[in-house]
Structure 1
Amino acid sequence: MRTIDKLLGAHIKLAPVLVKRAPTLTLAFDARCRSRLAATLDSGEDVALLLPRGTVLRDGDVLVADNGGLVRVVAAPESVLYVRAPDVLTLTRAAYHLGNRHTPVEVGVDYLKLEYDPVLADMLKRLGALVDQVEMPFQPETGAYGGGHRHGHDETFAEDYALAQQVYGEHHGHAHSHDHGHSHEHAHDHAHDHDHGDCDSSCGHDHGHGHHHAHR
Structure 2
Amino acid sequence: MLHIDHVIGDRSEPAMHKRLHHLEHHGTVDVVTIPLADMARHRLRIVTPAGEDLAIALPRDEKLFDGAVLLIDDARAIVVRAEVERWLRLQPATIADAIELGYHAGNLHWRVRFDGECLLVALEGPADAYYARLEGLLADRTIETTIVTGDLAA
| Displacement after TM superposition at 1:75 (Å) | 1.0
Which residue pairs with 2:123 in the alignment? 114
Asked if the contact 1:57/1:73 (under 8 Å) is kept, the reply is no
Which residue pairs with 2:83 in the alignment? 75
In structure 2, what residue type is equivalent to 1:73?
R
Residue ranges of structure 2 left out of the alignment (5+ in a row): none
Which residue pairs with 2:13 in the alignment? 14
Which residue pairs with 1:4 in the alignment? 4
RMSD: 4.9
In structure 2, what residue type is equivalent to 1:101?
L
Question: Are 1:130 and 2:136 matched, yes or no?
Answer: no
**Secondary structure of the corresponding residue to residue 98 of structure 1:** helix
Which residue pairs with 1:85 in the alignment? 91
The equivalent position to 2:47 in structure 1, one of 33, 40, 45, is 40
**Secondary structure of the corresponding residue to residue 123 of structure 2:** strand
In structure 1, what residue type is equivalent to 2:6?
K
Between Structure 1 and Structure 2, the one with more strand by share is 2
Which residue pairs with 1:212 in the alignment? none
Residue deviations 1:83-129 (CA, integer Å, cap 9, x gap): 23166968975456524532234666766232333453326625643
In structure 1, what residue type is equivalent to 2:88?
Y
Asked if the contact 1:91/1:111 (under 8 Å) is kept, the reply is no
Identify if the C-alpha distance between structure 1 residues 35 and 111 changes in structure 2 by more than 3 Å, giving closer, same or farther: same
- The whole-number CA distance in structure 2 between the counterparts of 1:101 and 1:2 is 38
**Secondary structure of the corresponding residue to residue 5 of structure 2:** strand
Query: How is 1:100-111 mapped onto 2 (pairs within 5 angstroms)?
Result: 100-105=107-112
Identify if the C-alpha distance between structure 1 residues 72 and 102 changes in structure 2 by more than 3 Å, giving closer, same or farther: same
Identify if the C-alpha distance between structure 1 residues 103 and 51 changes in structure 2 by more than 3 Å, giving closer, same or farther: farther
Count of residues in correspondence between the two structures = 134
Asked if the contact 2:43/2:57 (under 8 Å) is kept, the reply is yes
Residue ranges of structure 1 left out of the alignment (5+ in a row): 141-153, 157-216
| Displacement after TM superposition at 1:70 (Å) | 4.9
Among all aligned residue pairs of Structure 1 and Structure 2, give the percentage whose two residues are the same amino acid.
21
Which residue pairs with 2:70 in the alignment? 64
- Mark the structure with the bigger radius of gyration: 1
| Displacement after TM superposition at 1:35 (Å) | 3.2
